[in-house]
Structures are given as C-alpha cells and as structure tokens.
C-alpha cells in the first residue's frame, strides 16, 4: 500500500471515528431524555391524583375509596393510539397511596388492586422524601436481576385543608412501556446518522474531484455513454461507480500532494540509471585509441543494446501512462475473442518454434466482449510473450478461452519454474521483473502492469499465480457484452 493511500485512509478513518463517536454519544443520550420526558408527565399525573384524593380528605383521614372503581374502569378501557408509527393499546400506570407513616392505604396496577395494602413503604425514596417536604422519585425493579422490569415512580403530597401533609400518592410507569420508543428512536438516529455521514462523504468526494478536475468526470462518463450501443441501468451504474473511484484516486493524490505522473517520472529516472551508466562507461572506454577492434565492437554492441533498452522502457512507460490516464475506451466496440486468440496464437508460433516450444490453443467458448480490440490484443500478446520467456524448451504453452453467463476468461499457462513466494504479490508492480531462466535477463517490468491496466479499463481483472502441477497461470477476466 502506497504512502498516499495510507494517508488518505488515515483521513477517512478519522472521519469515520468522529462520526461513530458522535452517534455513540447521541444514541446513548436518547434513553435519559425519554426518562426525563416520562418523569415530567408522571409529576403532572401524581399531582392530579393527589388533588382528586384531597377532595375526600376528612380531617386527618385519607379516603381513597373512589380510586378503585375509577382505576378498574381505566384498566379495562380499550383504545388504539398510533404514536409516530408505534401503537399503544392499554394504560400502564401504577398508583399507591400511603398515610403519614408510610403505610399503604391503597395500591393498584393492571390486573391487581389492593395487593400491598397495609405494607410499610416508608423506606421507599419517593414516600420518605415527599413526607419530608422534598421531591420524591425512584426507579425500582420488579425482578432484581431484570433491568427491563424497572418502574419509575413519582410521588406527590396529600394535604388537608390546613395544608399539612397527611399522606403520599405515588404514580408509577414501567420503563418497558416507553422502551420501544427508545429503541425505535435509537435505530432511527443510527440510520439517519449513517445515511447522512455517507451522503456527506460522497458529496465531499464529488466536490473534491470536481475541484481537482472540473467537469472531467462528467465528460468522461458522457464520452463512455456515447460509445455504448444501448444504455442499460446495470452497466451505467457500474461505470458511474468506476468513474467516481477514479475521481477519488485523483482527490487522494491531490490531498497528499502527489500525482501519478510524478511517480512515473521518479520510477522511470531510477530505471534508466543503470543502462545510462553502462553507456557512459562504454563511451569512456572507447576514447582509448589503443583499444583492440574486437573490444571496440563489444562496447559498441553494449551501447546499442542499452540504448534500445532505454528506448523500450520509455516507449512502454509512455503507453502505460497514457492508458492509466484514460478513463474511457476511445475505440470501443464488440470484440469476438475466439478469432482474436487464433490470430495471436498463429502470430506467436514462429517465436515459440524458435525456442523449441509450441502453443496449444483451446477454445471452449466463443464469447463477445465490449472493448478495444487493439488493447485486448496487446494484453493477451504480453501474457503469451511472458509465458514463452519462462517455458522450458520442448514444453507447450496453453492458451485457453472459456466463458460463463457473465464473463469470459482467457488463460495462459506455461510449465516453467512458477512464481517464487516472495514475488507473488509484486508481479504486477511497475518495473518489477523476474530473471528469465535462459540467460538470467529481466524485462522492462511493465508488461504485466500494462495488462492489468487494460483489464481494469474493460471492467475486468488480471491475475497471475502458480498453476496446479507447476508453472504459472495468467488469467484475464472480461465482462461479456450484454
């Protein structure tokens, strides 16, 4: 992974971490906010019930008798309330009344009335605090080890005509009754947060790409659309994603202060240093007038060979740079792969025969792809040339064409030494090359990079790995024309 990519991913990770932390704080704060809202409603309800009870107070005596028929009717009441998409069909309030000593005079909850009459509730926070003239509230569990059984209680004082507190009424509501609202709010917040974060990220990338190369992405996409015989939603969406990905790469390079051309120049400079040094050394030796003729011819051959190597590196590098900077195929059309492979196999037979090799062509299908015939010919030709370089004398190089319902696969296999483990992840890197078995020479290291760039231009991929039974197996996968 390049330094530019690591920097870009680091910026992205910071953004994701910031959004995640924000969502965590917001989602974690939903439950307390709902509890606060529920407690505020319970305060109103407790004081309403206290006022109702005070209507029947006689001296120091509390008479909550009228509550029983009222609450039975309330619990039996049928209704169907839709609250922001969530349904409520029953009353979940709990009520109990105590005297000035904290003794329960009346209690009611759905399905049970008078179950705790006579019990001492003075130790409960809501009762004790209210009798002391303070605000009394508590949250307790019906089942000790079950957090979902928690019930919120809020108490209000019951006063006589002299405004003396002679008892307490406490109204409770199971937390589970509004837990579904909390859960729904959490999921809504998460989805809205994630959706907004993704929309913001995509928008930022689009704007950044627009700033880096105004109108370029749109122009590339329209140029591609004009080359299509028919516009179908699937390919259009896939190409839009690929175009946006290219814009992201440009934005990444712009953010990190680098660009592809600068990388190519630096790499090219490094690669031509060796042949330039050889040419310079040979030229200095040729200045010696006493040099024998055969030695002079040898050094002249070295200069010619290294000059050709530099020319080949520069030419291939220019081709690769042009291909990588292009986002649409300029000369696209339907390409029948079977005749193309037959032509290439015939064209390489002479070179193969000169090395004691043969090319075995196996056409298992006759697929047609949408692409640039010239570039596809170059890609397969590079794979064949690479296989011929590593194939041992007397062996065969297999060129196979197969297809399924979605893609075509061109495979090239040799029976050479295969790919060393240390090189398997680097074979597609620019200027990375393995020594050929015959002579130990290396290529420019640009052929496989060129193949991968062509595959990506066509919406496919290029792979190279060791084949079962020995040798190397190169695979060029291309989407079928639809």
For residues 343 and 272, state if they share a domain. Answer: no
Are 320 and 345 in a shared domain?
no
Sign of the C-alpha dihedral computed for residues 52, 55, 60 and 64 taken in this order: negative
Q: Please tell me the total count of domains within the chain.
A: 3
Residue 62 pLDDT greater than 80, yes or no: yes
Within a domain: 318:
yes
Specify whether 111 is located in the same domain as 153.
yes
pLDDT given at position 132: 93
- Top pLDDT among 131 and 242 is at 131
111: left (phi > 0), else alpha (psi -120 to 50), else beta? left
pLDDT at position 418 over 70: yes
The reply to whether 389 and 305 lie within a common domain is no
pLDDT of residue 209: 57
pLDDT at residue number 386: 86
Say if residue 111 is in the same domain as residue 124: yes
- Pair (451, 379) in one structural domain: yes
Q: At which of 303, 325, 347 does a domain end?
A: 325
Query: What is the extent of the structural domain holding 281?
Result: 259-325
Domain membership of residue 473 (yes or no) is: yes
Residue 8's pLDDT is what? 66
Q: Is the pLDDT of residue 400 over 80?
A: yes
Write the burial class of residue 35 (CB in 10 Å: 0-12 exposed, 13-18 middle, 19+ buried): middle
Residue 461 and residue 477: Cα distance in Å, rounded? 5
- Mean pLDDT over 342-367 rounds to 88
Q: In terms of domains, do 335 and 403 share one?
A: yes
pLDDT of residue 337: 92
With 60 as the cut, is the pLDDT of residue 258 above it? no
- Sheet architecture: strand order including 396-403: 358-363, 396-403, 407-413, 472-479, 461-466
Query: Domain for residue 29, yes or no?
Result: no
In tens, the pLDDT along 191-201 reads 888 888 888 77
Write down the pLDDT at residue 98: 94
| Per-residue pLDDT at 342 | 92
**Higher pLDDT, residue 420 or 433:** 420
Query: Does residue 205 fall inside a structural domain?
Result: no
**Domain co-membership, 460 together with 443:** yes
Within a domain: 381: yes
Asked if 372 and 309 count as a contact pair (C-beta separation under 8 A), the reply is no
Determine, yes or no, domain membership for 101.
yes
Q: pLDDT tens-digit profile of 301-332?
A: 878 877 876 776 676 666 666 665 555 566 67
On whether both 366 and 470 belong to a single domain, the answer is yes
Say whether pLDDT at 445 is over 80.
no
Query: Domain check: are 316 and 344 in the same one?
Result: no
pLDDT reported for residue 416: 87
* Domain membership flag for residue 215: no
Give the model's pLDDT for residue 97.
94
Domain boundary among 275, 293, 325: 325
Instruction: Give the domain CATH number at 136.
Output: 3.30.450.20
Per-residue model confidence (pLDDT) at position 323:
61
Q: What percent of the chain has pLDDT over 90?
A: 21
Give the best-scoring range by mean pLDDT among 67-71, 202-206, 267-271, 288-292. Answer: 67-71
Is residue 269 located within the same domain as residue 359? no
pLDDT tens column, 135-154? 999 999 888 888 778 899 99
Q: Domain check: are 170 and 291 in the same one?
A: no
| Least confident span in 23-32, 88-97, 383-392 | 23-32
Question: Please, what is the end-to-end C-alpha distance for the chain in angstroms?
Answer: 35
Q: How high is the pLDDT of residue 128?
A: 94
| Residue 219 exposure: Cα atoms within 13 Å on the Cβ side | 8
**In angstroms, what CA-CA distances link 151 with 86, 121, 171, 175, 206?**
21, 15, 10, 5, 50
Q: Which residue in the block uniquely carries the two structure tokens 């080359």? A: 227
Q: How many angstroms separate the most distant Cα atoms in the chain?
A: 137
Among 299, 325, 351, give the residue marking a domain's end. Answer: 325
């Amino acid at each position: 992974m390049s330094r530019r990519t690591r920097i870009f991913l680091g910026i992205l990770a910071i953004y994701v971490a910031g959004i995640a932390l924000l969502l965590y704080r917001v989602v974690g704060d939903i439950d307390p906010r709902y509890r606060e809202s529920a407690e505020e409603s319970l305060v109103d309800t407790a004081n309403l019930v206290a006022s109702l009870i005070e209507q029947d107070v006689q001296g120091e005596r509390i008479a909550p008798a009228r509550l029983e028929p009222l609450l039975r009717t309330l619990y039996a009441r049928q209704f169907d309330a839709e609250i922001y998409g969530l349904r409520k069909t029953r009353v979940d309030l709990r009520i109990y009344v105590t005297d000035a000593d904290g003794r329960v005079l009346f209690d009611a909850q759905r399905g049970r009335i008078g179950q705790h009459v006579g019990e001492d509730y003075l130790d409960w926070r809501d009762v004790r605090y209210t009798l002391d003239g303070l605000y009394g509230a508590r949250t307790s569990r019906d089942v000790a080890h079950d957090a979902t059984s928690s019930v919120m209680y809020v108490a209000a004082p019951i006063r006589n005509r002299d405004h003396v507190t002679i008892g307490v009424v406490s109204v409770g509501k199971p937390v589970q009754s509004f837990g579904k609202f909390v859960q729904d709010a959490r999921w809504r917040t998460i989805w809205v947060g994630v959706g907004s974060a993704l929309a913001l990220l995509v928008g930022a990338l689009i704007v950044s790409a627009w700033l880096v190369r105004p109108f370029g992405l749109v122009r590339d996409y329209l140029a591609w659309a004009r080359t299509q015989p028919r516009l179908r939603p699937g390919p259009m969406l896939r190409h839009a994603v690929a175009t946006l990905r290219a814009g992201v790469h440009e934005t990444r390079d712009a953010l990190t202060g680098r660009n592809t051309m600068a990388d190519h120049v630096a790499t090219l400079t490094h690669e031509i240093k060796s042949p330039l040094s050889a040419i310079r050394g040979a030229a200095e030796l040729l200045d010696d007038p006493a040099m024998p003729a055969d030695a002079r011819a040898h050094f002249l051959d070295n200069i010619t060979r290294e000059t050709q190597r530099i020319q080949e590196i520069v030419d291939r590098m220019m081709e690769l740079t042009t291909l990588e900077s292009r986002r649409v195929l300029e000369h696209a059309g339907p390409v029948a792969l079977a005749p193309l492979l037959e032509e290439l196999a015939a064209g390489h037979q002479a070179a193969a025969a000169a090395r004691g090799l043969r090319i075995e062509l196996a056409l298992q299908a006759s697929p047609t792809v949408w692409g640039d015939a010239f570039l596809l010919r170059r890609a397969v030709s590079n794979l064949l040339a690479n296989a011929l370089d590593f194939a041992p004398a007397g062996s065969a190089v297999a060129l196979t064409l197969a297809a399924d319902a979605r893609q075509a696969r061109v495979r090239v296999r040799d029976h050479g030494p295969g790919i060393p483990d240390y090189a398997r992840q680097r074979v597609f890197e620019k200027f990375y090359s393995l020594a050929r078995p015959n002579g130990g020479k290396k290529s420019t290291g640009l052929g496989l990079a060129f193949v991968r760039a062509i595959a990506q231009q066509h919406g496919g991929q290029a792979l190279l790995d060791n084949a079962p039974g020995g040798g190397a197996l190169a695979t060029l996968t291309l989407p079928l024309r639809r």
